A and B are shown apart, each in its own frame.
Chain A
């Protein structure tokens, strides 16, 4: 098992180096000059432009800028934002828990709803439940998140007034951030009603963010289950007179879960992409909105280091998925 993990870790090194090149190059390939953007409609004299560019190190050849970036990276320095002038890592760490909290809730909803729906749809293949749930999944998969979020806000917050419109907690509550996770912080704070307020704020954005992964997971579970249910050992189990719940729950589901877990793992990327829109709509202070703002302002250090951090996390999650894979299916780790 240790060799398996080490092997996986070794793979990460070249991948990570590749990502530094892409992250560094990506924002520089985009047209637009961060120095000119600072000046806006006002314009800037060429002398002043050169002065500011030199101060920010943009006057150096591009390869030198890249090695500066790598060099600082090796020293644990991700650079400072051009806009806020704050260290990128500090900003990332202050925003990341909000995204994790939202992402975890979304993936929880997507899995807890998606897997049972997929299983049921597979068992009752061709039934009205199968058809309705899979059509709904297709709609969910193609739903424009921005529009979907606004629709839910107007219905649940505007007309029905069941949920708050946006934010992470009612502004009535004010306590220091300990973990950055609002659900935990609100519990620790001991303020009455704070936890419930945090939960009520989490519902709509999680549902919106969960929509696409839920659809994918439900469809994936259904097809994986259908495949497994057709296997010989399932037929044998049935022939032996095993109760259907045991056939489906133990024999079929456990085997069907392997591709499903891969799918859930792959949804991390989808979640981070969805977080960009969801966070903007729900004024959720996470890294998605942070990245979008930084890209539009051509905040080079934030975009390149932010991308790097996000990529590192996606890689880590994928590694964990691979390891879980090994746990569920011993054949994989012995290969």
Chain B
């Protein structure tokens, strides 16, 4: 009798438990490294913000093909470029649904009005949405020079828009594939304006992307749900969660404990132990970046290319890769990374040769040189430890009789002072590509235009031939021709040596062995629409 009772009670408990257990949706947790600044992609510049807004929630007219920097159709299915390169006509995808939330249910599909609104609000100061939050600015739109480039955007019909440019600009399509050019809903903006809750445009985003925004708890968690109406291939996971975990060591512990399935930016010292862990796997890829040492080419003796070349020959770059990057990088010889189209592999680097360096310095009449080397105070993917790098350069230069004093400033000061024309010394800095176009490296960092005030040419190097090649390449839409021009430009660069090109770092993405379908982006984006996780 007693046994029977126990059996019944047991069965009832089992039944209760089995019915009480909720059926879990397939959830993917990403241990992100920082909090997003907001969810409207246009006013911000941080990659972390784009990973949380532009990539899961929104789409662009054209997109970067997964894992590449090639352009593929996004919200525009096809487009034509006029012969003079001044008119781009985009044919928009039909039947693309906007997402909905508690405050907004769309009454129409995505159309040309949304495209015009998305650009106009950034470029037109009279647009009521230009400064919908006090102090908001559109730094990417401005720095990609779109205000001077876009003459007008015309609506041909509901599904066709024409961009008229003021000059031919080859990187234009790559520019508008960037996160800041995400297409937002005009109807949603109108709804919020009526309700007097404009700031929700940034807090509760509505997009056309693979995931819908669900909730954000500041500095802790962001939640997304699969967008059931997504126009592209449906995501394989139901829920996407960002667990914000700033410390790299803690991220790794969370990954190991199964609290998240994927993490960015492991500490270089942990790479080896991750590789050995059977429960984890790791993708790696050459980063789309460059770390460099920029001489001030307007000051003697660094105005002499011979001196710059001699100093470049004195640097043991491989030693820097080994000591600072713990092997997770490669020596750089060109100002663009080898994964970028138009990379000129025929260029010969100035090989490490202290003796030849000494001789060259003597020839140039340089004796008892002492100089400053600037070390950045922050870590960047292209430079995990600038101070250590500067110390290695100091040792190398000492071997050829050049005395180095290492200086450093607070990051904002560093950026400012390093751009002052009379700057004393060579600066360690770097760059991570925005859109995969060579002009986004060479044009931004080395052109004559960038050597002026407020530019990013920290060598103040202005070579007419080099700049002319860049200008020509920027106007041509023929990739083969552009490739040739950029290859030539790289030869001039190496010959003139305004920088010591130091490194291209390797990017690692550790994840649980159960994860499949993750594709690393050369631009450093983290996207999860193709990700799956085994039960």
Residues of chain A at the chain B interface (Cβ within 8 Å): 30-34, 36-49, 52, 55-56, 80, 82-86, 91, 94-95, 98, 150, 153-154, 157-158, 161, 164-168, 171-172, 174, 177, 192, 280-283, 285-286, 289-290, 293, 296, 298
Contact = CB atoms under 8 A, between A and B. Distances in A.
B379 to A, nearest CB: 12
Interface string B236-263: 0000010111110110011011010000
Given A31-B412, A31-B413, A80-B134, A85 B43 contact: yes
A285 B241 CA distance: 16
A214 B253 CA distance: 27
Contacts of B243: 167, 171, 283
Contacts of B202: 85
A72 to B, nearest CB: 12
A80 B132 CA distance: 13
B134 A153 contact: no
Given A49-B454, A85-B43, A43 B415 contact: yes
B135 A56 contact: yes
Contacts of A39: 45, 139, 143, 415
Give the size category of B's interface with A.
35 or more
A282 B43 CA distance: 30
A330 B37 CA distance: 52
Contact of A168 (B29, B199, B220, B430): B220
A1 B431 CA distance: 65
A38 B136 CA distance: 12
B205 to A, nearest CB: 14
Contacts of B199: 85-86
Contacts of A44: 143, 454
B144 to A, nearest CB: 10
Contacts of A47: 454
Contacts of A296: 411
Interface of B: 20, 24, 27, 29, 34-35, 37-38, 43, 45, 131, 133-137, 139, 142-143, 199, 202-203, 215, 217-221, 223, 241, 243-247, 249-250, 253-254, 256-257, 259, 409-413, 415-416, 419, 429-431, 444, 450, 453-456
Given A52-B137, A171-B241, A289-B246, A158 B444 contact: no
A285 B220 contact: yes
Given A84-B38, A85-B133, A286-B219, 13 more contacts: A33-B416, A38-B137, A45-B454, A45-B455, A94-B218, A165-B250, A171-B241, A171-B259, A283-B244, A283-B245, A289-B219, A293-B35, A296-B411
A282 B412 CA distance: 28
A174 B453 CA distance: 50
B259 to A, nearest CB: 6
B247 A281 contact: yes
6 contacts: A31-B410, A43-B455, A98-B220, A157-B257, A158-B253, A171-B29
A165 B259 contact: yes
Q: Tell which of A52, A98, A166, A281 has the most Cβ of chain B within 10 Å.
A: A166
A292 B256 CA distance: 27
Contact of A42 (B24, B203, B456): B456
